[in-house]
């Protein structure tokens, strides 16, 4: 991790793991093809923030039994159907399931795979993944496409943060004490990969919900 953003010493919480280059180039291409098939059936959309109704800059879709969703009136939650098509979410891509099995020990299979598509100036503010019923299983994140600056903190917004680069094929695990760590994407570095058709970055976030 290249730099801290304050004079306070920064150490990731136990349970945080960054696995650079976990997927090789061929695996990335195959996973990208699987994700494209998902997005053809469940097109990306821009969800809106609770209360304010502000549109998120990141386009998203989901795969799995459940999909993460938010809108002005209902807030953050999981739903079983695509909010625009009304169809059930497609199955989680096989390579993504393989990654989950490889980096988690005895965690049950993931129920949700949030697909975030970053293009242009899209970013993701600091947040916790805490809309699940149980935090025992880790959150597993897979990066595809353009590099991005990822920011990691502690379990309080007041704690110091650190930013570091995520590249295509990297896998990140938030488990244990790090399961509720604040994190986000400061910016994407355009043109650093040709993997995603049309450019940009795709992030797959695998989660156990129930």
Is 116 annotated as ligand-binding?
A: yes
Which three-class secondary structure state does DSSP give residue 38?
A: helix
Is 78 annotated as ligand-binding?
A: yes
Is 210 annotated as ligand-binding?
A: no
Is 89 annotated as ligand-binding?
A: no
Is 203 annotated as ligand-binding?
A: yes
Is 180 annotated as ligand-binding?
A: no
Contact 167, 21 (CB under 8 A): yes
Is 130 annotated as ligand-binding?
A: no
Is 118 annotated as ligand-binding?
A: yes
Strands (E), 24-146: 59-64, 67-69, 77-79, 112-118, 124-127, 139-145
Rg (CA), the chain: 16
Q: How far is CA 132 from CA 17, 77, 105, 120, 160, in A?
A: 21, 8, 19, 30, 25
Is 46 annotated as ligand-binding?
A: no
Is 170 annotated as ligand-binding?
A: no
Is 134 annotated as ligand-binding?
A: no
Is 127 annotated as ligand-binding?
A: yes
Is 207 annotated as ligand-binding?
A: yes
CB neighbour list of residue 101: distance below 8 Å, 6 or more residues apart? none
Contact 151, 12 (CB under 8 A): no
Is 7 annotated as ligand-binding?
A: no
What would the two tokens of residue 29 be? Answer: 């291409």
Is 115 annotated as ligand-binding?
A: no
User: Starting from the edge strand earliest in sequence, which strands make up the sheet with 183-189, in order?
Assistant: 3-4, 162-166, 147-152, 183-189, 124-127
Nearest-angstrom CA–CA distance, 191 and 7: 33
Q: Show binding-site residues for Fe cation.
A: 127, 129, 183
Which residue ranges are tagged as binding site for substrate?
A: 68, 76-78, 131, 157
Binding-site residues: 68, 76-78, 116-118, 127, 129, 131, 157, 183, 201-207
Binding-site annotation, residues for 2-oxoglutarate: 116-118, 201-207
């Amino acid at each position: 991790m290249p730099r801290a953003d304050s004079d306070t010493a920064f150490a990731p919480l136990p349970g945080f793991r960054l696995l650079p280059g976990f997927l090789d180039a061929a695996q990335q291409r195959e996973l990208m093809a699987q994700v494209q098939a998902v997005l053809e059936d469940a097109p990306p959309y821009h969800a809106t923030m609770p209360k304010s109704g502000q549109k998120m800059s990141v386009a998203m879709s989901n795969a799995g039994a459940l999909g993460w969703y938010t809108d002005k009136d209902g807030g953050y939650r999981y739903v079983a159907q695509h909010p625009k098509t009304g169809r059930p979410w497609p199955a989680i891509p096989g390579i993504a399931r393989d990654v989950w099995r490889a980096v988690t020990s005895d965690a049950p299979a993931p129920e949700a795979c949030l697909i975030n598509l970053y293009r242009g100036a899209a970013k993701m503010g600091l947040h916790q993944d805490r809309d699940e019923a149980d935090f025992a299983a880790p959150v597993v994140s897979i990066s595809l496409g353009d590099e991005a600056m990822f920011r990691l903190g502690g379990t309080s917004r007041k704690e110091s943060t650190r930013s570091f680069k995520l590249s295509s094929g990297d896998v990140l695990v938030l488990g244990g004490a790090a399961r509720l760590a604040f994190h986000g994407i400061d910016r994407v570095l355009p043109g650093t990969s040709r993997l995603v058709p049309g450019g940009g970055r795709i992030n797959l976030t695998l989660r156990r919900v129930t």
